[in-house]
């Protein structure tokens, strides 16, 4: 069992022909705020191994995991020793930013962690899992170079993000946002913060304000009303993509395309 579509995709890559993982949240669902359905509870109860990002992303999932799948093996990727998380306030004791899959560089390390989790749960197939994990990591390394090259000309672009869940995408590719509508957990913004962002939009230093599944277009409309600032929905969870091994690279390439289109002023 996996939590969100991008992680499902990485696990599918590592399982290869040995099987296919289950997926809890539909592609494009808001992971910060989701209500489990009875069928989801059944899926959890039938799981032997659960690979999820971790309680920092889906705090509502922690109790059901323990209650419904008490004996299943569980791997929270935020607990992996193979990565260095970005933290709130950039201090060592700050809260972990869980959106690590949004940088292929991090996904590469998580693929190895996933290989180790599958091998521990099913030792007979360890060599296949680890071979697949290494192949996935290699491809993710190439994807990282491709995306870094594509985004390199945009390091000066002025843009506003919908919620503070894209720092891996931004930081690993040298992008620097002018502002962000909502915090890391996608809580709705307050009026004074919206006023500051509106001033930023009116200053002319911003070419695009993004929305996402967590922070919808209504917030953005208020900010860009009456200006020629552009908007687009950025998708970090795989909305409208088909779950499976190919979803992850498609998601990342689509994010990069959405980004470059929206920050480029209309001619």
Closest to Zn ion by CB, 158 or 165: 165
Nearest approach in angstroms of CB 168 to Zn ion is 11
Tell me the number of residues near Zn ion by CB under 5 A: 1
Closest to Zn ion by CB, 32 or 108: 32
Dist. CA 55–CA 65, nearest whole Å = 10
Closest to Zn ion by CB, 21 or 165: 165
- Which range binds Zn ion by CB under 5 A, 73-81, 142-150, 157-165, 202-210? 157-165
**Residue position matching structure tokens 């809890």:** 24
Nearest approach in angstroms of CB 45 to Zn ion is 27
Give strand pairing partners of 74.
50
- Which range binds Zn ion by CB under 5 A, 68-76, 131-139, 159-167, 187-195? 159-167
Nearest approach in angstroms of CB 97 to Zn ion is 9
Q: Does 100 bind Zn ion (CB under 5 A)?
A: no
- Which range binds Zn ion by CB under 5 A, 79-87, 146-154, 162-170, 257-265? 162-170
Identify residues 163-182 at the interface with Zn ion (CB under 5 A). 165
3-state secondary structure at position 216: coil
C-beta of residue 146 within 8 angstroms of C-beta of residue 137: no
Nearest approach in angstroms of CB 64 to Zn ion is 19
Give CA separation, 81 vs 73, 111, 116, in Å.
Answer: 17, 13, 12
By the 10 Å C-beta count (0-12 exposed, 13-18 middle, 19+ buried), 191 is classed as exposed
DSSP structural state of residue 189: P
Nearest approach in angstroms of CB 251 to Zn ion is 14
Closest CA to 109 of 168, 151, 155, 164: 168
Closest to Zn ion by CB, 30 or 122: 30
Give strand pairing partners of 51.
2, 75
Closest to Zn ion by CB, 72 or 239: 239
Nearest approach in angstroms of CB 88 to Zn ion is 13
Closest to Zn ion by CB, 19 or 59: 59
CA dihedral 152, 221, 59, 14 (to 10 degrees): -40
Looking at beta carbons, which residue is closest to Zn ion?
165
Nearest approach in angstroms of CB 205 to Zn ion is 25
C-beta of residue 83 within 8 angstroms of C-beta of residue 109: yes
Dist. CA 213–CA 235, nearest whole Å = 7
Binding site residues, Zn ion, CB under 5 A: 165
């Amino acid at each position: 069992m996996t939590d969100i579509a991008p992680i499902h995709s990485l696990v599918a890559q590592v399982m290869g022909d040995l099987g296919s993982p289950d997926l809890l949240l539909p592609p494009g669902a808001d992971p910060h705020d989701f209500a489990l359905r009875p069928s989801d509870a059944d899926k959890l109860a039938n799981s032997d191994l659960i690979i999820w990002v971790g309680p920092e992303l889906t705090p509502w999932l922690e109790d059901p995991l323990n209650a419904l799948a008490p004996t299943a093996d569980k791997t929270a990727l935020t607990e992996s020793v193979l990565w260095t998380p970005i933290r709130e306030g950039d201090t060592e004791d700050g809260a972990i930013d869980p959106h690590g899959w949004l940088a292929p560089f991090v996904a590469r390390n998580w693929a190895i962690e996933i290989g180790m989790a599958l091998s521990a749960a099913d030792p007979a197939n360890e060599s296949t899992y680890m071979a697949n994990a290494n192949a996935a990591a290699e491809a993710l390394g190439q994807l990282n170079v491709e995306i870094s090259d594509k985004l390199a000309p945009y390091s000066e672009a002025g843009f506003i993000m919908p919620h503070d869940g894209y720092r891996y995408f931004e930081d690993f590719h040298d992008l620097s946002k002018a502002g962000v509508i909502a915090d890391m957990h996608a809580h709705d913004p307050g009026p004074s913060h919206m006023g500051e962002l509106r001033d930023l939009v009116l200053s002319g230093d911003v070419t695009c304000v993004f929305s996402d599944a967590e922070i919808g277009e209504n917030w953005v409309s208020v900010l860009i009303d009456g200006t020629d600032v552009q908007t687009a929905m950025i998708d970090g969870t795989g909305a409208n993509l088909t779950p499976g091994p190919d979803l992850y690279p498609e998601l990342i390439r689509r994010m990069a395309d959405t980004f470059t289109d929206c920050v480029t002023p209309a001619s």
